[in-house]
Structure formats: C-alpha cells, structure tokens
Amino acid sequence: MPLYMDIHELGEVSVEDVAKAHVADLEAQEKYGVNYLKYWVNQKCGKVFCLVEAPNAEAANSCHREAHGLVARKIIEVQPELADGFLGRDIETDAAGAVLLPGVHLMSGIPESEPSCSPTSWIQLH
C-alpha cells in the first residue's frame, strides 16, 4: 500500500489536541482502509506531519475529516526507502547524517521547497 506524509498547519491546536486527533484517526482508520503509523509536531513552526499507509491521499484526508476535522493542507507520497527512515529503520546517510535521497529532508519530513524550521525542534509523538 502506498505511503503518504501529510502536512497540517497547527494553528491554535495544542499538542494535546493533536494527540487526541491521532487517537480519533486510529479509531476511524479501518473504515477508510488507512493505517496511521507516526506523527510529528513542531510548535515553533506550527506544523504537524502524519505518516500513513493509504490506498490514496483522499482516503487519508477523509479519515482526518471524519475523525476530527483537521484536514491536511498538503499530502505527498513517500517512497518506501524514505519511510524506513521515518520509522527509525536503517537508511543510507552521508557523513553529516543527511539522508541520501534527493528532494526531501528526513528530519523535517518535507520537500526542500516547503518552508521548515530546524530539524532539532521536531517532536516525534507516536
């Protein structure tokens, strides 16, 4: 099944609210044939990311919509090799620890064209 990373704007939503939303996603995911694997929050940048296995991007967003209404601003398909890094599995890196897959920074999980903050400010919550 394809893997997707979705991008949410945190807005006025607290980290606790995000945790509750994730639980709601887990409760609703079977209906949409999706499997939420992990999520990350960066309060400084106001971003939330979810890593999800889904038949398509719309299924993932439909689950969010029904579970809590916090739909993603953007959803990108993630290559399986990159997902291994998100899940903490061994991946190939350079001497500085950067993932050797062009176009995506592993720590922030977003395309280089997407504005981001320092990777050290990301909190992996699940």
Please answer whether residues 85 and 91 qualify as being in contact, where contact means their C-beta atoms are separated by less than 8 angstroms: yes
Q: Catalogue all structural domains in the chain, each as residue range(s) with its CATH number.
A: 3-124 (3.30.70.3090)
pTM over 0.75? The answer is no
Q: What is the pLDDT of residue 1?
A: 86
Burial class of residue 66, CB neighbours in 10 A (0-12, 13-18, 19+): middle
Task: Dump pLDDT digits (tens) for 12-57.
Answer: 888 889 989 999 999 999 999 999 988 888 888 888 989 899 999 9
Summary mean pLDDT of the chain: 75
Parallel/antiparallel/unpaired status of strands 110-111 and 47-53: unpaired
